[in-house]
A and B are shown apart, each in its own frame.
Chain A
Amino acid sequence: MKKSSLAIVALAFAFSTESIARDQIKIVGSSTVYPFATVVAERFGKTSGFKTPVIESTGSGGGLKLFCKGLGTEHPDITNASRRIKSKEVKKCSENGVTDITEIKVGFDGIAMANAKSGPMLELSLKDIYLALAKDVPADPEGNTVKPNPYKMWNEVNPALPAAPIVVIGPPPTSGTRDAFNELAIERGCKKFPGRKALKKKDKKLYKSQCRSVREDGPYVEAGENDNLIIEKLVADPGALGVFGYSFLDQNRDKVKAAKVDGVFPEFEAISSGKYPVSRSLFFYIKNAHASVIPGIKEYVREFTSSKAIGSDGYLVSKGLIPLGESERAQFEKDGKTLAKFDAKVLK
């Protein structure tokens, strides 16, 4: 027994000098893209003859952090993201030698705000969401000055809402869903105040920190990267409102119901047409230097971008993905085939 243990330790040290060749794609990233990527990976593994890719659900931020750590087989080949890569992350990537990446947009996802079936029916506006959840809210009607968020009840935010305490269960800051929620719901609600909008021109940094920050004094509860957990908490507490992706809403219609945002329900049509205000795009990023080393990357990308998968009739659509327009999908299919290099200039 001692001999074999020595052998294993020796083995481990032998590996330490160089990394091991790998014939299996490794994917990390967003928990929102995870249920779609796993379906693609499984089909790919069954039909292509390559090994089935390994997928970890780390959140968009966590995934990009791992992705940008460097080149080499110990680093992931693809990262899923429920938001676009940030210029900060592009910089981090290129500092570590990851300069050549390809961006693929796979579809859209609406961020739903929903509560338990037994809870009240809610109609929110972006302004309500901002006032209920932002860290700082306007102290005057114009929004020229701010004060820490004092609101504890929904009817303090908007008299038309029920007199119930504000409890919102949502994802943590590492989640792409949270980034998108801050940007699409809170910031847009913030912009409804002329004073805040004017601040954007004067001091962009201050504006961002004030208009994108979620309160930390209790009413917003962080629930981790597990959307199912949020749904279970909603069922247990009919007074709470949850924040999660449309696909989870779609799979759990027997347990939760969505709130209208700006008068629109998060439904398939409304999200793909852009009528529903809180919707975002889903992406994945490919490390192009790995495509020639790890077998199957190009084929996996081809499977993911095919109309069979993400076309308007594709198998991911029946899993809750909201598809791109056909011409846009065809463009990304082409990008995937040629591994078109992502140009960071398109980011502001």
Chain B
Amino acid sequence: MNNLKKIEYSLKKRKRQESRFKIYGLLGITSAVTFLCIILSSIFMEGKKAFLSTYIKLEVYFDPDIIYTDNDQKEEDIKFANFQKIIKNSLNSFFPEISDKGELRKLSNFISSSEEENLMRLVLENKQLIGQKVTLWLLASSKIDVINKNPDMELIAEEDRLISNLELNWLNEIRSANNIESNFNKNFFVKADSTEPEQAGIWGSLVGSFFTLFVTLILSFPIAVAAGVFLEELAPKNKFTDFIEVNINNLAAVPSIIFGLLGLAIFLNVMHLPRSAPIVGGMVLALMTLPTIIIATRASLKAVPPSIREAAIGLGATKFQTVTHHVLPLSLPGILTGTIIGMSQALGESAPLLMIGMVAFIVDVPGSFLDSSTVLPVQIYLWKSTAARGFVELTAAGVMVLLSFLILMNGLAVYIRQKFEKKW
């Protein structure tokens, strides 16, 4: 009787323990999911604004007196013409009551400075425009863009706001004339870094990331697969191979900045490769990715049942034929999955690139492996550390682009695993 009671009591206790354990697990998962949702939604709410930019409709008068400073009307004159003045005059004709010089300068800051270049190109292409009035949608400056996208910013006190009451009145006047609209932000997808938020884009760093990852893939994949196959299939099991194995596992856990230091010491200081170049970044990241791929390769080679090897050898295949004709093709899905995961790790890496000068302000989109460039995470970091308000949204949008590439790559890895992996 006594024993039965004891068992009953302990059973209750164990069941309570189990339900507690379940609750802990559930709590863990819910909190993780909540945090993820909070992070993703805050990034999305902030970032979606960056995909639109504000345009202001203006009647632009291509004044021949401003474009041609003398009578010979050369093309060279158009290139050096003061298009800022043309924009300023166009704005002034919309607000004829403004005559103060300082106020006019403030007003001309409504339009992005990149439009000067655009108008110049427009005139160069079509010289008939000179002397004509054309209605154009011009890109607004970041200040106006931020206020236009965040209407609640108009309510904060004047000294804390990006624009003064006077400028806000102008903006409202433009609005009431229906001369303002939001449109797709093309600059974000075709340009590289800029000091003006409305002219900055992700394309430069995306291309940089592509070049860097291409070098990483081309270097790390063949070397890692060869190393993995050798260690798993061909190498004798002795102290030396054990030593190498332990070291590869250790390398996978080395902080990435160490690889950056190595890159600085060897690729830059000894081999004199150029600073800030994707080829160096790719080599550094390849070193970092190698252990990941080697470990994945060995794991998927191990998963191929020995019967396959024995059958091949039994039919007279050499070791080399066994590996290349049977074992490697069967383990390829696993190897590719590991490679893609290693690559997406490399895509998100920025610390080692700091050491080799890829954390830099770069305006030109890179055209080759030797051009200076940044990568996606570095661009996000650089925007985050810039003072101008307009970069807040760009930062979030940059994170969205990086995340979608990571999801895409990991999705590809999952797909390959599901589709091609054989279960034994």
Interface residues of chain A, those whose CB is within 8 Å of chain B, are 1-2, 4-5, 8-9, 12-13, 15-16, 18-20, 22, 24, 26, 34-35, 38-39, 41-42, 45-46, 51-52, 54-57, 72-74, 76, 226-229, 247-248, 251-254
Contacts and interface: CB of A to CB of B under 8 A. Distances in A.
B194 interface: yes
B308 to A, nearest CB: 25
A54 B361 contact: yes
A34 B283 contact: no
Contacts of B360: 54-57
Nearest to B360: A56
A229 B381 CA distance: 11
Contacts of B371: 24
Contacts of B194: 42
Interface string B385-404: 11111000000000000000
Given A35-B386, A42-B363, A54-B360, A15 B272 contact: yes
B271 A39 contact: no
B299 interface: no
Given A1-B222, A35-B386, A35-B387, A16 B364 contact: no
Contact of A228 (B117, B276, B387): B387
A48 to B, nearest CB: 12
Interface in B356-395: 357, 359-364, 370-372, 384-389
Given A35-B386, A251-B388, A1 B218 contact: yes
B221 A1 contact: yes
B273 A51 contact: no
Contacts of B196: 42
B270 A16 contact: yes
A16 B269 CA distance: 10
A24 B275 CA distance: 12
Contacts of B124: none
B87 interface: no
19 contacts: A1-B221, A2-B222, A9-B219, A12-B271, A19-B274, A24-B372, A39-B195, A41-B361, A52-B362, A52-B363, A54-B362, A57-B360, A57-B361, A74-B273, A228-B387, A247-B387, A248-B387, A251-B388, A253-B160
Interface residues on B, range: 35 or more
A56 B357 contact: yes
A2 to B, nearest CB: 5
B156 interface: yes
A18 to B, nearest CB: 7
Top 3 closest A-B pairs, CB basis? A251-B387, A52-B363, A16-B271
A236 to B, nearest CB: 15
Contact of B195 (A24, A38, A72, A252): A38
Nearest to B358: A56
Contacts, number: 102
Contacts of A41: 361, 363
A129 to B, nearest CB: 24
B323 to A, nearest CB: 16
Contacts of A16: 270-273
Contact of A42 (B161, B195, B274, B372): B195
Nearest to B382: A57
Nearest to B371: A24
B346 interface: no
Interface string B340-363: 000000000000000001011111
A205 to B, nearest CB: 33
A46 B199 CA distance: 12
Contacts of A1: 218, 221-222
Contacts of B161: 254
A4 B268 CA distance: 22
A22 B274 contact: yes
Nearest to A255: B160
Contacts of B156: 254
B275 A74 contact: yes
A4 B361 contact: no
A253 B159 contact: yes
A42 B276 CA distance: 18
B279 interface: yes
Contacts of A72: 272
B207 interface: no
Contacts of A228: 384-387
Given A12-B273, A24-B371, A254-B160, 6 more contacts: A16-B270, A42-B194, A56-B276, A56-B357, A251-B389, A254-B161
Contact of B361 (A9, A38, A73): A38
A320 B159 CA distance: 17
Nearest to B272: A19
B359 A56 contact: yes
Contacts of B283: 12
Interface string B125-168: 00000000000000000000000000000001001110000000
B243 to A, nearest CB: 26
A16 B219 CA distance: 17
A74 to B, nearest CB: 5
A1 to B, nearest CB: 6
A16 B267 CA distance: 8
B215 interface: yes
Given A20-B274, A54-B362, A8 B215 contact: yes
Nearest to A31: B385
A4 B218 contact: yes
B251 to A, nearest CB: 20
With a 10 A CB-CB cut-off, give which of B215, B273, B387 has the most chain A CB atoms: B387
A5 B219 CA distance: 6
A54 B356 CA distance: 13
B346 to A, nearest CB: 16
